[in-house]
């Protein structure tokens, strides 16, 4: 009996009470009843506070209502006991057989266990990183790469179709500055003051020279273009290769230039004009974002005729919407927080509802320490911690996992020593180790000729540790659904850590396979199914984070 089934059973019980006239609910019976796992064991396998919530509306004492519900719910075969506690909680115990059945269900469901179709039909656009193609990706980008990709996987697991999109800012003044910086380095000169000064610039310049042998003999204006364009192509390719290595794969790399090569910008303006949000003033063209709470109106076309970045952004959003996406999610760093107000207002200006078609998630910044010193990440100053270095220093699995396991709205301080440590102060190995342990048991079982099949006796799984583990496995579907709904993939990681811990405790007290020349009993078989189910849950969860589930460690 899963929490979902228990919840349905409670709804059914309430419905019976109402139908029989034993209970009056003016607003009707709620469609779902929240069932939670109590922290204290004495409070049962599951508990619900539904009586406390309904008592006022029903005009009865919460404990009396809980008592009525208790008497009704125990008639269900899967419920072993129900008792009223405290101000009106209902503490429930599930029968071993009903609970143990889950293990077989998980094994049968396999890779699909934990997935659902609650968001089926939804077309989600998830934009993240969107770095300028003028330098290597750094630590900040790496956090969004890991979190964004995990978020995409989690949302996909609820049935939605998710497009991962990277917006390439390949237009504007910074591209020329980038070209000029490369060109200067190629000639052994210092880049301009406002240019790019990182050590990578000289390396990249050398690559351009290698790729285009005659470049240094080209006329200056032509040479600038060659450096800019070739440097752009090489730098973008490097970003793509590194993200690939981090297992973050984008479906669409969307070039800002392509918006301008097509009529997308004009098209966006048309939309604003239709909505009456465009106006001219001081020789510039503006969007009236103050109609929707922005603190000032925003310029789209400057008085010198140049388009602003925000003009591109607006066109891009309209483009996404016309490709059928709803919602469009933006994952931005805290340094872009000032952008949220105008993005939301922009969505309203083109006729959408901010918070529905457009969602902005702000992630806080990351700091990384090594030997107590902060690794700096200023691209322009040149001392950067790049994605490449992080992968080499920490490894893909620990890097991804560590960045994903914290909520994005909390600022983060990470220590290199912790992330590379191969002990249980490193949660990624704690979870992976549990998986490897489980895989090992399954290998040993196969050697003994014991197979996992559906005909086990579920009621054998009757001890406390087995019950704890079964209840942990039962949580995966709602953890995934909740993580998707709240856009918080870190919940999956935390869940895996809890579940791994619950498994280790089970392993400590419950022998799975027969020892020596012992006969194979129903208990052995049942526990083996539980082991197979646990392995499946950890593997599915790690898969949602894009972290590997090793068979051996």
Smallest gap from Cβ 287 to RNA, in A, equals 11
Are β-strands 161-168 and 123-127 bridged in parallel, bridged antiparallel, or unpaired?
Answer: parallel
Cα–Cα nearest to 498, from 407, 442, 430, 433: 430
User: Sign of the CA dihedral 537, 540, 543, 545?
Assistant: negative
Cα–Cα nearest to 400, from 373, 418, 419: 419
Put the strands of the sheet holding 89-94 in their side by side order. Answer: 46-48, 89-94, 79-85
Nearer of residues 326 and 497 to RNA, judged by Cβ:
497
CA-to-CA separations, 24 to 67, 244, 468, in angstroms, rounded: 15, 59, 36
User: Sign of the CA dihedral 264, 270, 272, 275?
Assistant: negative
In the stretch 23-52, what mask flags binding to RNA with x, by CB under 7 A? Answer: -----------x-xxxxx-xxx--x-x--x
Nearer of residues 215 and 442 to RNA, judged by Cβ:
442
Nearer of residues 148 and 427 to RNA, judged by Cβ:
427
Cα separation of the two ends of the chain:
34
Q: Any idea which residue has 């098209």 for tokens? A: 267
Please identify which residue in 64, 161, 229, 551 interacts with RNA, judged by CB under 7 A.
551
Q: Is 261 in the site for RNA (CB under 7 A)?
A: no
Site for RNA in 232-251 (CB under 7 A): none
Q: φ, ψ for residue 125 (rounded to 5)?
A: -105, 125
- Quote the DSSP letter at residue 41: G
Nearer of residues 222 and 295 to RNA, judged by Cβ:
295
Residues 6+ apart with CB under 8 A from 367: 374, 411, 412, 413, 414
Put the strands of the sheet holding 328-333 in their side by side order. Answer: 252-255, 161-168, 123-127, 328-333, 358-363
Site for RNA in 53-112 (CB under 7 A): 53, 56, 85-87, 89, 91
Nearer of residues 215 and 268 to RNA, judged by Cβ:
268
Smallest gap from Cβ 144 to RNA, in A, equals 14
In the stretch 135-174, what mask flags binding to RNA with x, by CB under 7 A? Answer: ----------------------------------x-xxxx
Please identify which residue in 4, 266, 409, 522 interacts with RNA, judged by CB under 7 A.
409
Span near RNA by CB under 7 A; candidates 17-25, 234-242, 338-346, 374-382: 338-346
Site for RNA in 357-376 (CB under 7 A): 362, 364-365
In the stretch 436-455, what mask flags binding to RNA with x, by CB under 7 A? Answer: xx-xxx--x-----------
- Tokens matching residue 356: 């529905």
Nearer of residues 193 and 508 to RNA, judged by Cβ:
508
Cβ atoms of residues 297 and 287 within 8 Å: yes
- Quote the DSSP letter at residue 36: B
Please identify which residue in 4, 222, 425, 522 interacts with RNA, judged by CB under 7 A.
425
User: Sign of the CA dihedral 526, 530, 531, 536?
Assistant: positive
Please identify which residue in 411, 446, 521, 522 interacts with RNA, judged by CB under 7 A.
411
Please identify which residue in 144, 227, 406, 456 interacts with RNA, judged by CB under 7 A.
406
Q: Is 299 in the site for RNA (CB under 7 A)?
A: yes
Span near RNA by CB under 7 A; candidates 14-22, 74-82, 221-229, 503-511: 503-511
Please identify which residue in 213, 219, 338, 449 interacts with RNA, judged by CB under 7 A.
338
Q: Is 193 in the site for RNA (CB under 7 A)?
A: no
Instruction: Return d(Cα 393, Cα 416) in angstroms, integer.
Output: 8
Smallest gap from Cβ 15 to RNA, in A, equals 19
Instruction: Return d(Cα 399, Cα 393) in angstroms, integer.
Output: 9
Nearer of residues 124 and 299 to RNA, judged by Cβ:
299
Please identify which residue in 1, 246, 265, 512 interacts with RNA, judged by CB under 7 A.
512
- Cα–chain-centroid distance for residue 187? 45
Nearer of residues 293 and 454 to RNA, judged by Cβ:
293
Cβ atoms of residues 537 and 499 within 8 Å: yes
Instruction: Return d(Cα 286, Cα 365) in angstroms, integer.
Output: 32
Nearer of residues 423 and 455 to RNA, judged by Cβ:
423
**Could you tell me how many residues of this chain bind RNA (CB under 7 A)?**
92
Q: Is 407 in the site for RNA (CB under 7 A)?
A: yes
In sequence order, what DSSP letters do the residues of 443-477 get, joined into one string?
A: HHHHHTT----TT--GGG--SHHHHHHHHHHHHHH
Site for RNA in 452-471 (CB under 7 A): none
Cβ atoms of residues 228 and 179 within 8 Å: yes
Smallest gap from Cβ 458 to RNA, in A, equals 19
Site for RNA in 478-497 (CB under 7 A): 482, 488, 490-491, 494, 497
Please identify which residue in 206, 337, 374, 518 interacts with RNA, judged by CB under 7 A.
337
Please identify which residue in 513, 520, 543, 548 interacts with RNA, judged by CB under 7 A.
513
Helix locations, 27-123, DSSP H: 50-58, 62-73, 96-109
Nearer of residues 263 and 306 to RNA, judged by Cβ:
306
Q: Is 123 in the site for RNA (CB under 7 A)?
A: no
Please identify which residue in 281, 322, 451, 454 interacts with RNA, judged by CB under 7 A.
281
Cα–Cα nearest to 275, from 314, 235, 222: 314
Q: Is 507 in the site for RNA (CB under 7 A)?
A: yes
Smallest gap from Cβ 214 to RNA, in A, equals 29
Smallest gap from Cβ 414 to RNA, in A, equals 7
Instruction: Return d(Cα 324, Cα 123) in angstroms, integer.
Output: 7
Smallest gap from Cβ 439 to RNA, in A, equals 6
Q: Is 292 in the site for RNA (CB under 7 A)?
A: no
Cβ atoms of residues 160 and 98 within 8 Å: no
Smallest gap from Cβ 209 to RNA, in A, equals 25
Give the 3-state secondary structure of residue 166.
strand
Give the 3-state secondary structure of residue 163.
strand
């Amino acid at each position: 009996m899963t929490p979902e089934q228990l919840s349905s059973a409670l709804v059914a019980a309430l419905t019976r009470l109402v139908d029989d006239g034993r209970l009056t609910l003016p607003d009707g019976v709620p469609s779902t009843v929240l069932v939670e796992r109590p922290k204290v064991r004495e409070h049962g396998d599951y508990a619900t506070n539904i009586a406390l919530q309904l008592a006022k509306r029903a005009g009865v004492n919460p404990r009396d209502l809980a008592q009525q519900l208790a008497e009704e719910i125990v008639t269900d075969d899967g419920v072993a006991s129900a008792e009223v506690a405290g101000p009106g909680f209902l503490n429930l115990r599930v029968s071993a057989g009903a609970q143990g059945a889950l293990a077989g269900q998980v094994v049968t469901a396999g890779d699909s266990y934990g997935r659902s179709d609650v968001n089926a039909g939804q077309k989600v656009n998830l934009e993240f990183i969107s770095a300028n193609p003028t330098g290597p990706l750094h630590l900040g980008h790496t956090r969004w790469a890991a979190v964004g990709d995990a978020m995409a996987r989690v949302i996909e697991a609820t049935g939605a179709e998710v497009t991962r999109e990277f917006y390439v800012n390949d237009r504007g003044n910074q591209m020329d500055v980038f070209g000029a910086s490369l060109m200067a380095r190629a000639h052994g000169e210092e880049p301009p003051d406002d240019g790019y000064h990182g050590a990578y610039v000289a390396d990249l310049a050398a690559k351009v020279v290698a790729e285009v042998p005659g470049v240094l003999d080209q006329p200056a204006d032509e040479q600038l273009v060659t450096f800019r364009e070739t440097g752009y192509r090489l730098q973008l390719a490097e970003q793509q290769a590194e993200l690939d290595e981090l297992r973050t794969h984008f479906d669409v790399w969307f070039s800002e230039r392509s918006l301008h090569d097509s009529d997308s910008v004009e098209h966006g303006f048309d939309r604003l004009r239709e909505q009456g949000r465009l106006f001219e003033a001081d020789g510039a063209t503006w969007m009236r974002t103050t109609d929707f709470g922005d603190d000032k109106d925003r310029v789209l076309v400057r008085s010198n005729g140049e388009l602003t970045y925000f003009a591109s952004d607006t066109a891009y959003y309209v483009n996404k919407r016309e490709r059928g996406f709803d919602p469009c999610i933006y994952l931005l760093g805290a340094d872009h927080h000032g952008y949220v107000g105008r993005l939301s207002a922009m969505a309203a200006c083109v006729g959408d509802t901010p918070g529905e078609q457009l969602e902005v998630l702000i992630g806080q910044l990351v700091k990384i320490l090594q030997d107590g010193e902060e690794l700096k990440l200023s691209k322009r100053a040149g001392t950067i911690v790049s994605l490449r270095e992080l992968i080499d220093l920490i490894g893909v699995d620990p890097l991804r996992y560590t960045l994903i396991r914290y909520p994005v709205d909390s600022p983060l301080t990470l220590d290199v020593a912790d992330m590379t440590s191969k002990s249980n102060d490193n949660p990624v190995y704690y979870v992976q180790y549990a998986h490897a342990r489980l895989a090992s048991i399954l290998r040993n079982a196969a050697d003994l000729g014991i197979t996992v099949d559906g005909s086990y006796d579920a009621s054998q799984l009757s001890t406390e540790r087995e019950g704890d583990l079964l209840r942990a496995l039962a949580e995966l579907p709602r953890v995934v659904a909740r993580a998707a709904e709240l856009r918080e993939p870190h919940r999956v990681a935390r869940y895996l850590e809890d579940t791994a811990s619950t498994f280790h405790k089970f392993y400590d007290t419950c022998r799975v396979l027969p020892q020596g020349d012992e006969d194979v009993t129903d208990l052995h078989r049942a526990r083996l199914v539980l082991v197979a189910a646990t392995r499946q849950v950890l593997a599915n969860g790690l898969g949602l984070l894009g972290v590997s589930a090793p068979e051996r460690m």
